[in-house]
Amino acid sequence: MPDKLRVGVIGAGRWSKSAHLPGFARSPHCDVVAICDLNEDLARDAAARFNIETVFTDYEKMLARADIDVIDVCTRGGIGEKNNHEPLAFAAVEAGKHCLCEKPVAHEYRNTWRAHEIAQSKGLKTKVGLTFRYAPSMQYMRDLIAEGFVGQPFIFNGYEQNSQFISPTEPVTKVDLIPETEVDEIKVSSIEGYGAPIIDISLWFMDSSLKSLVGLLYNFVPYRTMPGGQRIRTNIDDGDVYIGEYSRGGFCTIQSSYVTVNSYPGLEARMYGSQGALLCRLGAELETQETLLQSTSPEAHEVEYVEMAIPDSYYPPGYQPGEPWPSMFYANLVHNFMEEIVNDTGENQGNFAQSAQVQEIINAVEISHRERRWVDLPLD
């Protein structure tokens, strides 16, 4: 293992520059030595901003470099074949590189499992951009649950919702939300792009898989305005919900949307158990970008929720109070991944296997919606 891991980044767009690259810059365990994008100007701009040595427009040439240890895939991954992380993630692990990949690794959960199996066979670690499990408050909440703070877990309620695409006339800036062709059947969108992180947290907190679910996809805003001004039909799920029953007992309700009045990221996790409850909320309008509340008085007629202080140890290197959530949460994600590789303890949270479980639920919700029925898990 080198003194510092050498990282190659595929993708030089907005999220790469606001979250991924700043995160790598803050971890003492790595250096970004190469960046690749089909748009060479974007790649050169990122290289200049973050002092990156080499620019590529062909990812295969980057993967051929024997001195690169880690590949980060942060290209667009929305609707359609053109916006797909899958071939890049497979190419990275097949080339023998540890891989961080934005969600989804693949739209079909079985393919995500295949990528995980390839990585395991080569002794590689993987990580998926399930950003919000790396919020300090979420990491602390998970530890509290594992230590028995809420007692026996009963119910998980999860929400990831905001109103950034509620207007039918404001041009859509996230064009990968738009299907490439008009379709009569609703296309999966919000539950995969926005729901995945809260689905991930629900499985993590309850420490259990689901055994069945019933779900609904919904299109609230049927027509949207493109950046060029044209009005087009967008039959996508811009809101969704499901009820799930856990294998170990208990149930969850999960809702995601980007047409519900709320600030971004608008994520909330609520855990109720036999001895108490924990409520965590993430939002840009909050002074510290996050808040964690607790109650341990289940016998009281009036239960008061009290804010908890989050220990300093849960914050990333270089944390500054009040810093924006994208840099804070993603710095934690990147640093956690670099430590997992460097320390080689066997720990690897939020990896391709976890992403496959999340994607299987997304695939099951789609089946449930289309066939109007409960769906049993696992699907195979």
Alpha-carbon gap, residue 54 to 7, rounded angstroms: 11
For the whole model, what pTM was predicted?
Answer: 0.93
Q: Which amino acid would we find at residue 186? A: I
Flag whether pLDDT at 99 surpasses 60: yes
98 contacts 70 by C-beta, under 8 angstroms: yes
Mean pLDDT of the region 81-99: 88
Q: Which residue has the tokens 């999960």?
A: 254
pLDDT of residue 170: 86
pLDDT of residue 176: 62
Q: Is 372 left (phi over 0), alpha (psi -120 to 50) or beta?
A: left
pLDDT of residue 252: 98
Structure tokens, 29: 């365990």
What CATH number matches the domain at 5-131, 3.40.50.720, 3.30.2290.10, 3.40.50.300, 3.30.2350.10? 3.40.50.720
Flag whether pLDDT at 175 surpasses 90: no
* C-alpha distance from residue 1 to each of 6, 24, 119, 334, 335 (Å): 10, 18, 17, 18, 17
- Model confidence over 250-298: pLDDT tens digits? 999 999 999 999 888 899 999 999 999 999 999 988 889 999 999 987 6
Mean pLDDT of the region 198-205: 98
pLDDT of residue 78: 52
Omega prior to 104 cis, within 30 of 0 = yes
pLDDT of residue 79: 45
Report percent pLDDT > 90 for the chain: 76
Query: What does the angle CA 172 – CA 175 – CA 178 come to, to the nearest 5 degrees?
Result: 95
180 contacts 95 by C-beta, under 8 angstroms: no
- Model confidence over 101-146: pLDDT tens digits? 999 999 899 999 999 999 999 999 999 999 999 999 999 999 999 9
CA 137 to chain centre: 16
63 Cβ contact partners less than 8 Å away, ≥ 6 residues apart: 8, 71, 91, 92, 95, 97
- Model confidence over 215-245: pLDDT tens digits? 999 999 999 888 888 888 888 999 999 999 9
228 Cβ contact partners less than 8 Å away, ≥ 6 residues apart: none
pLDDT of residue 2: 63
The mean pLDDT value of the chain amounts to 92
* C-alpha distance from residue 70 to each of 55, 64, 126 (Å): 16, 12, 9
294 contacts 151 by C-beta, under 8 angstroms: no
Domain ranges of the chain: 5-131, 133-322+356-376
- Model confidence over 351-365: pLDDT tens digits? 999 999 999 999 999
Q: Where are the alpha helices (DSSP H) in 12-162?
A: 14-15, 21-26, 40-50, 59-63, 86-94, 109-121, 136-146
Q: Which amino acid would we find at residue 306? A: V
CATH 3.30.360.10 at 133-322+356-376, yes or no: yes
Mean pLDDT of the region 156-183: 81
CB atoms within 10 A of CB 312: 8
pLDDT of residue 313: 95
Beta-bridge partners for 268 = 159, 281
- Model confidence over 24-82: pLDDT tens digits? 999 999 999 999 999 999 999 999 999 999 999 999 999 999 999 999 999 875 544 44
- Model confidence over 328-338: pLDDT tens digits? 999 999 999 99
368 contacts 214 by C-beta, under 8 angstroms: yes
Alpha-carbon gap, residue 52 to 39, rounded angstroms: 16
pLDDT of residue 336: 95
pLDDT of residue 181: 62
Alpha-carbon gap, residue 7 to 284, rounded angstroms: 29
pLDDT of residue 229: 85
**Count of all residues that appear for the chain in the document:** 380
Beta-carbon-side half-sphere exposure of residue 69 (alpha carbons within 13 Å): 16
Q: What backbone torsions phi and psi does residue 333 show, to the nearest 5 degrees? A: -60, -50
216 contacts 242 by C-beta, under 8 angstroms: yes
pLDDT of residue 373: 98
Burial classification of residue 140, based on how many CB atoms lie within 10 Å of its CB (0-12 exposed, 13-18 middle, 19 or more buried): buried
